[in-house]
Structure 1
Amino acid sequence: MSKTLVEKIWDAHVVKSEEGFPDILYIDTHLIHEVTSPQAFDGLRKRGLPVFRPQQTVATADHNVPTLNQLLPIKEELSRYQVDMLTKNCAEFGIELYGLGHPFQGIVHVIGPELGITLPGKTMVCGDSHTSTHGAFGAIAFGIGTSQVEQVFATQCLLQSKPKTMKIEVNGELGKGVGAKDIILYIIAQISAAGGTGYFIEYAGSAIESLSMEARMTICNMSIEMGARGGLIAPDQITFDYIKGREFAPAGEEWDKALAYWKTLYSDADATFDSVLTFDAADIAPMITYGTNPGMGMGIQEN
């Protein structure tokens, strides 16, 4: 049976599925930070539960922290309290923390790729809407709420209804000065800030395939701005070259095994999507936005 990339990854992670109920979806990697995790940890305490698989939880302080002088006390009281609670909670529940001063500390959706934690074929969640950034590597990645953070802590699974699938193709050569941000703002301007609601989006086409990993991350990051559950791009040689040799990436025989699997992660030629949209890269100009939502965008040459 032919499948889309989303279906291949999703189906491989379903622990249990019953008609009329959400799937029980296994989560490979749970990313946490200081803002959406404290209440989830408290929920575990009230139930007397441990974190089920702490080795699959990646913690860093990134939302309310200074860029410079990180070894000094955080001045803002609430921010300092949240970071202190993350440190306390991770120590209590046996989770390794990339806290302030740690060489791996950074923006959660940046350190995942940079450290080789984000890999094709994974399911990844975080209490942050822009978790879809990791989809650039051919992963199913999406944001969750605090009660769901607690659910993943306790079970390493999530109750989740299978989303509809949308393919957005951008073909052709990009014009001068047009980058990834322009591509995604153009798409959102065409379909609106609600145009992706209910869908998991696969970005494809020659213009997408020409992009760097950083540019692909920009595209997938902003899937949320069109209301989508998440977005992803099929992994290719650009993806594999980026991952190889990173801190936690597979190596040796494990690399060869992983690479063989990653090369199967694409939508079958005759796979059926719930919606397909196609755009010409030549139509995309450098974009600006105005007004009150990201769907209000226009090319700089427009009036």
Structure 2
Amino acid sequence: MSQTLYDKLMSTHMVHDQDGASLIYIDRQLIHEVTSPQAFEGLTLAGRKIWRNKSNLAVPDHNVPTTERSSGVSSITDPISRLQVETLDKNCETFEINEIQMNDIRQGIVHVIGPEQGATLPGMSIVCGDSHTTTHGALGALAFGIGTSEVEHVLATGCLWQNKAKNMKIEVKGQLANDVSAKDVALYVIGKIGTAGGTGFAIEFCGSTIRDMSIEGRMTLCNMSIEAGAKVGIVAVDDKTINYVKGRPFSPVGENWDAAVKYWKTLHSDADSNFDESILIDASLIKPQVTWGTSPEMVVDINGSTPDPKFEKDEVKAESIRNALKYIHLKPNTSMSSVAIDKVFIGSCTNSRIEDLRIAASVAKGKKIAHNIKLALVVPGSGLVKKQAEDEGLDKIFKDAGFEWREPGCSMCLAMNADKLEVGERCASTSNRNFEGRQGQGSFTHLVSPAIAAASAIAGHFSGVET
């Protein structure tokens, strides 16, 4: 019987089926400092051991400082953030879990270091107490975010109950313009289907545009699938996938590698498999995107304008537009290219890999950020990304242009560490969420690609890339 890729992965990991719910085996759990303390505490109180220590990999990322941190965890000034990182270190030592600690060069954002270390492999089931675990689906893995109680459940049993999702195919065909990236594709898709468009679905991204996309671009796309409401974002395995994971620290070798590749090549939807919903997108229609409101679906082309609620027939949507414009301090019909910004953030699990930094550096090279830009941050996704960028001279390009070059971490994606916006500040951000207060109370977040972030830093307002 023909199956979609999602169906194949679900059936492969099925342990037991009961009344439509599936108990599935979890191959890999990624752990960070924010959603794990209660899980470990629950194990301790119940006197439970971990089912399989080696299936877990931990790293601190949300609360780590991106400035000077040579003194280790004591560098963290906020007591709650410091306690969370200290607790992760202690729990990993107690339960004998492999942890990449804060000052290890391999440290970084959990969704960057997983694929980078080969801890994310095709065909795996992967969970993490973080919604953007969908990122790992770019490698043909069944990957999704879970809650803290589920983190504990996976630690104790190696399994998890899941309701099977429906299948959605998003096919993107054609060639993207030179200034359009995977981030723009993601925002364009969310703008079309809405933040609830993928609710109840596993989205498979396919088509010639996706095949042409790099693995890092596919990670950006799958990362944002949760912003469309999808449980899972996934891309079929191809030669790019296999070449990407080859030789990484956790990847198989020798005969195990050969056997793995043979299996991985089956990880695609069958030609006549059935999808519950299919969407076709013409890549040539996609332009660089920028969000104008307080949800990723509130997005327009970089040369577009904010909407006017008086032209919206649906009163619920009209009210949503009014509320978003009021919060974001913009008026209807405002050209986005006329909106000045205060800060720029290039980083996050969405856009902090070497490809993202290369793109941003190519825009910033030989230029200077505008005088009205208070701060422009570039935060690599891991210490290894940082080193590679420095080996290529990207750090010098950024610093010469006026950007700050930081240590790896989640940074200004969310207001959970020292990097945050102040009240009333407006930011061009390569992160994934623009909710009210996401980057700091009373702040305004606009989601863009690395190229648009760099171009906007130079212009001092939202801007496309000069050609």
TM range (shorter): over 0.9
1:120-173 Cα shifts (integer Å, max 9, x gaps): 100000000000000000001000000000100110000111111111000011
1:246-267 Cα shifts (integer Å, max 9, x gaps): 1111122211111111000000
Displacement of 1:301: 3.6
Distance 1:67 1:249 in 2: 29
Give 3-state SS (helix, strand or coil) of 1:276's partner. strand
Give 3-state SS (helix, strand or coil) of 2:30's partner. strand
| Equivalent residue number for residue 34 of structure 1 | 33
Distance 1:302 1:88 in 2: 50
Task: In structure 2, give the amino acid aligned to 1:14.
Answer: M
Distance 2:70 2:199 in 1: 42
| Equivalent residue number for residue 146 of structure 1 | 148
Task: In structure 2, give the amino acid aligned to 1:30.
Answer: Q
Q: How many percent identity over aligned positions?
A: 54
1:19-39 Cα shifts (integer Å, max 9, x gaps): 24x211100000001000000
Is the 1:49–1:154 Cα contact (8 Å) retained in structure 2?
Answer: yes
| Equivalent residue number for residue 50 of structure 2 | 51
Give the TM-score normalised by the residue count of structure 1.
0.97
Task: In structure 2, give the amino acid aligned to 1:17.
Answer: D
Q: How does 1:147-186 map to 2 (within 5 A)?
A: 147-186=149-188
Matching residue within 118, 121, 124 for 2:120: 118
Displacement of 1:105: 1.6
| Equivalent residue number for residue 69 of structure 2 | 70
Unaligned runs of 5+ residues in structure 2 are 306-467
Displacement of 1:18: 1.7
Distance 2:109 2:203 in 1: 24
Distance 1:208 1:96 in 2: 34
Give the TM-score normalised by the residue count of structure 2.
0.64
Distance 1:286 1:188 in 2: 14
Q: Aligned-residue CA RMSD in angstroms? A: 1.0
Is the 1:60–1:105 Cα contact (8 Å) retained in structure 2?
Answer: yes
Q: How does 1:268-283 map to 2 (within 5 A)?
A: 268-283=270-285
Task: In structure 1, give the amino acid aligned to 2:4.
Answer: T
Task: In structure 2, give the amino acid aligned to 1:130.
Answer: H
Confirm or deny that 1:9 pairs with 2:12.
Answer: no
Task: In structure 2, give the amino acid aligned to 1:87.
Answer: D
1:272-295 Cα shifts (integer Å, max 9, x gaps): 011111110011111111111000
Confirm or deny that 1:257 pairs with 2:259.
Answer: yes
Displacement of 1:101: 1.8
Is the 1:71–1:100 Cα contact (8 Å) retained in structure 2?
Answer: no
Task: Check 1:24–1:280 CA distance in 2 against 1; reply closer, same or farther (3 A cut).
Answer: same
Which moves more between the two structures, 67-76 or 158-167?
67-76
Matching residue within 81, 85, 92 for 1:83: 85
| Equivalent residue number for residue 402 of structure 2 | none
Displacement of 1:176: 2.8
Distance 2:302 2:95 in 1: 51
Displacement of 1:191: 0.6
Matching residue within 208, 211, 224 for 1:209: 211
Distance 2:98 2:183 in 1: 34
Give 3-state SS (helix, strand or coil) of 1:277's partner. strand
Is the 1:138–1:235 Cα contact (8 Å) retained in structure 2?
Answer: yes
1:214-251 Cα shifts (integer Å, max 9, x gaps): 11100000001111112010011111111111111112
| Equivalent residue number for residue 309 of structure 2 | none
How many equivalent pairs are there?
A: 302
Specify which structure has the bigger relative contact order, considering alpha-carbon pairs within 8 angstroms and separated by 6 or more residues: 1
Displacement of 1:67: 2.6
Give 3-state SS (helix, strand or coil) of 2:186's partner. helix
Q: How does 1:231-270 map to 2 (within 5 A)?
A: 231-270=233-272
Distance 1:58 1:68 in 2: 25
Displacement of 1:100: 1.5
Unaligned runs of 5+ residues in structure 1 are none
Matching residue within 295, 298, 303 for 1:296: 298
Is the 1:213–1:238 Cα contact (8 Å) retained in structure 2?
Answer: yes
Distance 1:70 1:220 in 2: 31
